[in-house]
């Protein structure tokens, strides 16, 4: 199929892009960009859970060959890893970035230059990793980059803890949503992230994402152009939650939802404090997760 024009270019052309930036920026005065709704004035330098004021922090930006196959293509996914996080999983596989502030603050101009640089390197998309808390600087940078020739699809690569009001501001801007659906049991969200509402928020967020962009569309070169990719990190001893999540995806979204079951859990960060997180995933556990996906009727597994 012919590659469609990225969504944000159409929105910019109809003159409403600037209005979205203004609406998102206004939310920083008493921040409710994410479901934690800390209420701090980030424009005045106050810090909430995400420890981020007005500017985004970036840990790294690079063509990434380890992402999902439709994102990587031949030349890689243009990943921008944002420092800090609105979720704070105790076992985070990028603990130094999410918890220990690895990275530097950047201006919208610098962030726009990163996007344009990744495009010049031949990347197939711009992949925002952990973007939920830095929507405003992303939009401000995108306005600059699009004016200066950015034409790549945008990937919203989040932990799934996203507010529906914020996702509404991104409609017509984000081409590919890639949320992680981590937990089905509220007790797990409370234990590992301090948020018992994670499962309900994630369900609502992922449905809203799918409503915006639908199932994953892949062009003639095997590269994703639009749609949803759902990630799920299979956890030690967590097969029942995995089954419930996969059944939800198949029945509430679509059996054609592109799903990446991730087997790479390893004890990181503060995982040593939890007996059930001290070990790696077993082969048998991952095979059970794949079987659960097939039993749910899911047909597109990465």
Evaluate whether 205 touches 161 at the Cβ level (below 8 Å). yes
Instruction: Say if residue 88's pLDDT is above 70.
Output: yes
Give the pLDDT band (50/70/90) at residue 13. confident
pLDDT at 5: 76
The residue among 4 and 222 whose pLDDT is bigger is 222
Choose which CATH entry (3.30.420.40, 3.20.20.70, 3.40.30.10, 3.60.150.10) describes domain 7-301.
3.20.20.70
Measured CA distances, 180 to 29, 160, 170, 199, 226 (Å) = 28, 5, 18, 11, 17
Instruction: Say if residue 4's pLDDT is above 90.
Output: no
Whole-number Å distance between alpha carbons of 239 and 216: 25
The SS3 call for residue 118 is helix
Whole-number Å distance between alpha carbons of 125 and 118: 8
Instruction: Say if residue 2's pLDDT is above 60.
Output: no
What tokens were used for 146?
């699009």
The residue among 62 and 11 whose pLDDT is bigger is 62
Give the pLDDT band (50/70/90) at residue 14. confident
261 phi, psi to nearest 5 deg? -85, 120
pLDDT at 248: 98
Helix (H) or strand (E) holding 192: helix 186-193
What tokens were used for 225?
């152009």
The residue among 49 and 12 whose pLDDT is bigger is 49
Whole-number Å distance between alpha carbons of 192 and 258: 26
Query: What is the pLDDT of the chain when averaged over all its residues?
Result: 95
pLDDT tens for each residue of 33-50? 999 999 999 999 999 999
Give the pLDDT band (50/70/90) at residue 12. confident
Contacts of 208 (CB under 8 A, 6+ apart): 164, 167, 168
> Dihedral (C-alpha) 212, 35, 203, 60: value to the nearest 10 degrees?
70
Considering the entire predicted model, what is its pTM? 0.96
pLDDT at 283: 96
Instruction: Say if residue 15's pLDDT is above 80.
Output: no
pLDDT tens for each residue of 140-155? 999 999 999 999 999 9
Evaluate whether 237 touches 183 at the Cβ level (below 8 Å). no
pLDDT at 204: 98
| Residue 155, beta-bridge partner list | 127, 176
pLDDT at 3: 58
Average pLDDT over residues 175-187: 98
Percent of the chain at pLDDT exceeding 90: 94
pLDDT tens for each residue of 97-118? 999 999 999 999 999 999 999 9
Instruction: Say if residue 262's pLDDT is above 90.
Output: yes
């Amino acid at each position: 199929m012919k590659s469609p024009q990225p969504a944000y270019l159409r929105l910019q052309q109809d003159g409403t892009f600037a209005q979205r930036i203004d609406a998102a920026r206004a939310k920083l005065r008493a921040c409710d960009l994410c479901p934690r709704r800390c209420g701090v004035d980030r424009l005045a330098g106050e810090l909430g859970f995400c420890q981020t004021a007005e500017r985004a922090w970036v840990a790294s930006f690079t063509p990434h060959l380890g992402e999902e196959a439709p994102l990587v293509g031949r030349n890689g996914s243009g990943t921008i890893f944002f420092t800090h996080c609105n979720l704070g999983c105790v076992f985070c596989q990028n603990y130094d970035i999410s918890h220990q502030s690895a990275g530097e603050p950047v201006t919208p101009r610098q962030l726009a230059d990163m996007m344009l640089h990744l495009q010049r390197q031949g990347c197939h998309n711009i992949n925002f990793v952990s973007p939920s808390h830095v929507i405003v600087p992303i939009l401000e940078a995108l306005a600059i980059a699009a004016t200066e020739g950015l034409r790549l699809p945008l990937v919203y690569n989040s932990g799934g803890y996203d507010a529906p009001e914020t996702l509404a501001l991104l409609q017509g801007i984000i081409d590919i949503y890639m949320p992680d659906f981590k937990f089905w049991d509220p007790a797990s969200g409370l234990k590992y992230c301090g948020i018992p509402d994670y499962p309900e928020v994630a369900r609502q967020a992922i449905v809203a994402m799918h409503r915006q962009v639908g199932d994953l569309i892949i062009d003639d070169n095997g590269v994703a152009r639009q749609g949803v990719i759902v990630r799920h990190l299979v956890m030690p001893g967590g097969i029942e939650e995995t089954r419930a999540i996969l059944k939800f995806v198949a029945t509430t979204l679509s059996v054609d939802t592109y799903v990446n079951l991730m087997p790479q859990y390893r004890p990181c960060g503060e995982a040593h404090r939890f007996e059930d997180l001290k070990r790696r995933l077993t082969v048998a556990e991952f095979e059970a997760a794949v079987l659960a996906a097939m039993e749910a009727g899911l047909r597109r597994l990465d």
